[in-house]
Amino acid sequence: MRGLESNKTKIRHRIFTEIARAAYEGGDIAKEIERLPYKIIPGEVATYRESIFLERAVVGERLRLAMGLPLRTLSEQCELSDGVSESAIAEKYYVPPLINVIKFACNKCPEKRVLVTNGCQGCLEHPCLEVCPRGAISMAGGRSVIDESRCVKCGRCADACSYNAIIKQERPCSAACGMGAIHSDQYGRAEIDQDKCVSCGQCLVSCPFSAISDKGQIYQTIMAIKSGVPVFAAIAPAFIGQLGPHMTTDRIRGAFKALGFADVVEVAIGADICTLQEAQDFLDEVPAKKPFMATSCCPAWAMMAKKMFPTLAENISMALTPMTLTARMIKKNKPGCKVCFIGPCAAKKLEASRRTVRSDVDFVLTFEEVLGMFDARGIEAEHITDLSPLDQSTGDGRGFAVSGGVARAVVNAIRRIDPGREVKVANANGLPECRKMLQLAKAGKYDGYLLEGMGCPGGCVAGAGTIQSVQKGIQAVGQGVAAAENQCIMDSPYLHYLPLIEERPEPAAER
């Protein structure tokens, strides 16, 4: 749960910190990774699971994933450090699958079940029994009893109970997955159908046993920094408030330079450029060439549309994403440099691995992973003296981080370009709502519309790599939007970069 410092978040943070520390300090990473589970989980008595050996085994697999390595198979002997030396390089792309289930950390949660709790009063009316369509409920010992063999998990009994004594449970990771990509394997453990998965990461956020994790590039990013090649941090619009209460916008640049980055550039600048591209596309193509146009900046949303609504894929804007546009702008100005996108999103890691993007974006880290780097270097925001505010983007560009912000920016741009043009908008956030919106679009309900889709509920501020609660993230972004000197992207001084870096990406079938 975002915004809550729990045992799960503490261990995740410790893993990221130790990987970053190992990279900064150098030495034999293969030996270090064998030692780290004992450093992270010290002592002889288990604290979190039934066995300290199990605790260390889980940490070991998470260390491998943080290094960008695959999980080890359970049926074959393999050293924890297997493949680590080959992965400890300055250039390494994410290799699918990005999102992984550590099988022996999974609690084997039931997929769905309906339970009668001790709150049952054994009432006279017993509406639970009356509404059950399968006759699965009876009264025994003064309380309701559910016959699991007949129950279809519809939940009508739970809805009918005046005491809320009947609950409907669903495996947290599965409930969070908007793609229906998670099921049980033959042993009852969670398993991800990678053909359905869009790497949004909502399952790893929702698993209370920390059995699901994504791969990382912390070590490789630091190796690149140490190589002497300038590495620029391209920071996503959702960053405001995510890196601690003292990490204000005027301290971001100094903090990242202390990590070794050459400089920091707001990805909201790329959002400004992306907005202009999408506004022009909408004016040119809707409804003359396309019945509607959908935004392109969220990779989880775009991938979901391609997988579930292939006939609608061509209606997704072909504009480059803010991440890619920003990276191209940086490399246009600083030839030979490397770019590290820093943001809230797990799906961006796979976007950066695409053949057409990997030359632009070299690394992708989440806010959570970057906090580990700060701790490894002992950097405290309140002690940063290099104060240089990030003030390069517009309010509309910064607003990309929250649901509704992308469409609002495009509409504002269209109003400046063609004041007489009416733009109808529909937006959805969270993959289940996005699916409903596309179903309506397929039925012709949104002809002439601009559709905005966000894979995470609330927008980018709810991404798998965020730290703050979603509501606090929305509030912080709102403050950043209000603080921008220019509000409309049409007033951005960076729009002249569009013809210099514009290049239509791969066909929708590949997106």
pLDDT digits (tens, 9 = 90+) for 405-426: 999 999 999 999 999 999 999 9
DSSP string, 405-432: HHHHHHHHHHHHH-TT---EEEEEESHH
Per-residue pLDDT of 217-264, as tens digits, reads: 999 999 999 999 999 999 999 999 999 988 999 999 999 999 999 999
Least confident of 74-78, 98-102, 403-407, 444-448: 74-78
Q: Which tens digits make up the pLDDT trace of 20-59? A: 999 999 999 999 999 999 999 999 999 999 999 999 999 9
Whole-angstrom distance, CA of residue 112 vs CA of residue 453? 28
pLDDT tens digits, residue range 475-489? 999 999 999 999 999
Asked if residue 398 has pLDDT above 90, the reply is: yes
Whether this model's pTM surpasses 0.85:
yes
Q: Which two tokens stand for residue 348?
A: 């961006």
Q: Kindly give the pairing relationship between strand 99-101 and strand 212-214.
A: antiparallel
Q: What is the pLDDT of residue 499?
A: 84
Which tokens hold the place of 390?
């990030």
User: Which CATH architecture is the domain 220-510 placed in?
Assistant: 3-Layer(aba) Sandwich (3.40)
State the average pLDDT over residues 192-203.
97
Nearest to 323 by CA among 230, 421, 234: 234
Q: What is the DSSP string of 14-48?
A: HHHHHHHHHHHH-S-HHHHHHHHHHHHS-SSS-SS
The helix (run of H) or strand (run of E) holding residue 449 is strand 449-454
Helices (H), 94-179: 127-131, 156-160, 172-176
Average pLDDT over residues 174-195: 97
Separation CA 372–CA 467 (nearest Å): 12
pLDDT at residue 506 is higher than 60:
no
Tokens of 438: 């596309």
More confident residue, 340 or 498: 340
Question: pLDDT at position 94, please?
Answer: 78
Confidence of residue 136 (pLDDT cuts 50, 70, 90): very high
Residue 217, exposed/middle/buried by CB under 10 A (0-12, 13-18, 19+)? Answer: buried
Please provide the distance, in angstroms rounded to a whole number, between the alpha carbons at the two ends of the chain.
30
Helix pair angle (7-25, 29-40), 10° resolution: 150
Between the CA of residue 271 and those of 234, 237, 319, 459, what are the distances in Å? 12, 9, 11, 14
List the beta bridge partners of residue 338.
231
Which residue reads 């910190």 in tokens?
17
> Cα–Cα distances in Å, from 450 out to 287, 419, 505, 506?
10, 16, 20, 21
Instruction: Say what the pLDDT of residue 505 is.
Output: 52
Instruction: Check residue 169 and give its pLDDT.
Output: 94
Q: What is the pLDDT of residue 290?
A: 96
Q: What pLDDT, on a 0 to 100 scale, did the predictor assign at position 502?
A: 62
Instruction: Output the pLDDT for position 467.
Output: 95
Residues 247-282: b if buried by 16+ CB within 10 A, e if exposed? bbbebbbbbbbbbbbbbbbbbbbbbbbbbbbbbbbb
Mapped onto helix, strand or coil, the DSSP state of residue 480 is helix
Phi, psi of 137 (to 5 degrees): -115, 135
Architecture of domain 112-170: 2-Layer Sandwich (3.30)
DSSP 208: T
Confidence (pLDDT) at 492: 96
Closest CA to 304 of 198, 460, 199, 200: 198
Look up tokens 């620029």; give the residue.
232
pLDDT in tens, 294-307: 999 999 999 999 99
Q: Give the pLDDT of residue 422.
A: 93
The pLDDT score that the predictor gives to residue 510 is 43
DSSP string, 351-383: HTTSTTTTTT--EEEEHHHHHHHHHHHT--GGG
pLDDT at 403 over 70: yes
Q: Give the torsion through C-alpha atoms of 443, 449, 450, 456, to 10 deg.
A: -40
Amino acid at site 44: E
Lowest mean pLDDT among 1-10, 20-29, 398-407: 1-10
Phi, psi of 350 (to 5 degrees): -75, -35
340, 260 Cβ separation under 8 angstroms: no
- Answer with the residue of higher pLDDT: 87 or 179: 179
Which runs of consecutive H residues, i.e. helices, occur in 201-358?
Answer: 202-206, 218-226, 252-259, 267-285, 299-308, 322-333, 347-351
Quote the tokens at residue 286: 């809707």
Residues comprising the chain, all counted: 511
| Location of each CATH 3.40.950.10 domain in the chain | 220-510
State the DSSP code for 316: B
With H, G, I as helix, E, B as strand and everything else as coil, classify residue 139: strand
> What pLDDT does residue 355 have?
86
pLDDT at 1: 67
In the 8-state DSSP scheme, what is residue 109? -
Measured CA to CA, the distance from residue 58 to residue 71 in angstroms comes to 10
pLDDT of residue 503: 62
| Tally: H helices and E strands in the chain | 20, 15
pLDDT of residue 339: 98
Which residue intervals of the chain bear CATH 3.30.70.20? Answer: 112-170
SS3 452: strand
Phi, psi of 124 (to 5 degrees): -70, -40
pLDDT band (50, 70, 90) for residue 508: very low
Question: Does the pLDDT of residue 111 top 80, yes or no?
Answer: yes
Query: Above 50 in pLDDT, residue 273?
Result: yes
